[in-house]
Chains A and B, each alone.
Chain A
Amino acid sequence: MKGKMAIVGDGDSITVFKAAGVAAFPAENDVKARDILRRIAKEYQIIFLTEELARPLSEFTKRFDEETYPVILSVPSKAGSTGYGTQLLKDAMERALGVDILFNS
């Protein structure tokens, strides 16, 4: 199956990916991003979402966790990493194993 990639985020962070060949959808706030996600979720298999938008939309993006596609990945924006991605990882680990095997150092 052929898949397409998209990135949703604030203007500055996504422009470079647009040049690299990823479909870019600018969204300045989480309300707008939610609309965009709803629209493109069927069409694009891999969607990168900047952390600033992913954090308020965590409830919304949960609905995509059940299916194999689309894959929604939170990536740091130009402001740098906020640790949200690691947080998600930690949550999944604690849910599955009940213990912390990675970050306890």
Chain B
Amino acid sequence: MTRLNVNPTRMELKKLKARLVTATRGHKLLKDKSDEMVRRFSVIIKENKKLREEVEAQLSEVLKQFSVARSVTASYSAEAAFAMPAVSIEVECGSKSIMGVDVPVISPVQQQSSESLPYAFSEITGEADYSVEQASKLLPKMLKLAETEKAVRLLADEIERNKRRVNALEYVMIPQLEETIKYIKSKLDENERAAVIRLMKVKSKT
């Protein structure tokens, strides 16, 4: 390990010791942060996996159902029927902080006229009604999935970054400081011994 390029003086020694204390404390803090983030992360990712499996299964079901419903209607009239949605869903987007990482919180806002389908009943078959309803029901779950998945990705990034910081402190910064402190100490001791010997020599000559 390379040592820092400093003059071996008492002043520098004092400064380096202070830096070592700070670095050690920072390292401990960051390590604790990393541990806690990993714990939270594993909770969230398990939830995310479960949600994703559910959403994927249900969504495939809905889409399959819908393509069946569509196939019995003429393509152009289906296009026209769905072109103008009657409901427009709004969501409330907030954010919360998990260990200093801002993650989204998404909650659907209750829409007023949930029953109105965007087409006349004569145009489209009942299967389509059913699949649209299913899709509407699935949306809150999809929002939840979006929320957790984003949280997973943000947390993963932050954990990675934090790990890099911890390692930089643990394997570069702290050993460097320790090595330099040791070097200065031995240099100062050496100087002291040299001074003593010099005094003894001077004394023996007279």
When A65-B157, A75-B55 are in contact, do A2 and B92 touch as well, CB less than 8 Å? Answer: yes
When A3-B91, A18-B85, A80-B60 are in contact, do A65 and B154 touch as well, CB less than 8 Å? Answer: yes
When A2-B90, A2-B92, A20-B135 are in contact, do A77 and B63 touch as well, CB less than 8 Å? Answer: yes
B70 touches A86 (CB 8 A): no
Report how many A-B pairs have Cβ atoms within 8 Å: 154
Contacts of A18 in B (CB 8 A): 82-83, 85
Type the 1/0 row for B46-89, where 1 means its CB is closer than 8 Å to any CB of A. 10110010011001101110110010000000110011011111
How far does the Cβ of B193 sit from chain A's closest Cβ, in whole Å? Answer: 49
- Of the candidates B59, B103, B160, the one whose C-beta lies within 8 Å of that of A76 is B59
Closest partner residue, chain B, to A11 (CB atom): B79
Bin the interface of chain A by size.
Answer: 35 or more
Q: What is the interface size of chain B, counting residues whose CB is below 8 A from a CB of the partner?
A: 63
When A96-B38, A96-B156, A97-B38 are in contact, do A16 and B135 touch as well, CB less than 8 Å? Answer: yes
Q: Is B131 an interface residue (CB 8 A)?
A: yes
B132 touches A86 (CB 8 A): no
When A3-B91, A89-B48, A96-B155 are in contact, do A19 and B118 touch as well, CB less than 8 Å? Answer: yes
- Among A65, A69, A89, max chain B CB count under 10 A is at A89
A-B contact pairs, 28 of them (CB 8 A): A1-B92, A4-B91, A5-B139, A17-B139, A19-B118, A19-B132, A21-B111, A22-B89, A48-B142, A68-B103, A68-B104, A69-B104, A73-B146, A73-B149, A76-B59, A76-B60, A77-B63, A81-B56, A85-B56, A85-B149, A86-B49, A89-B152, A92-B152, A95-B156, A96-B41, A96-B160, A97-B41, A97-B159
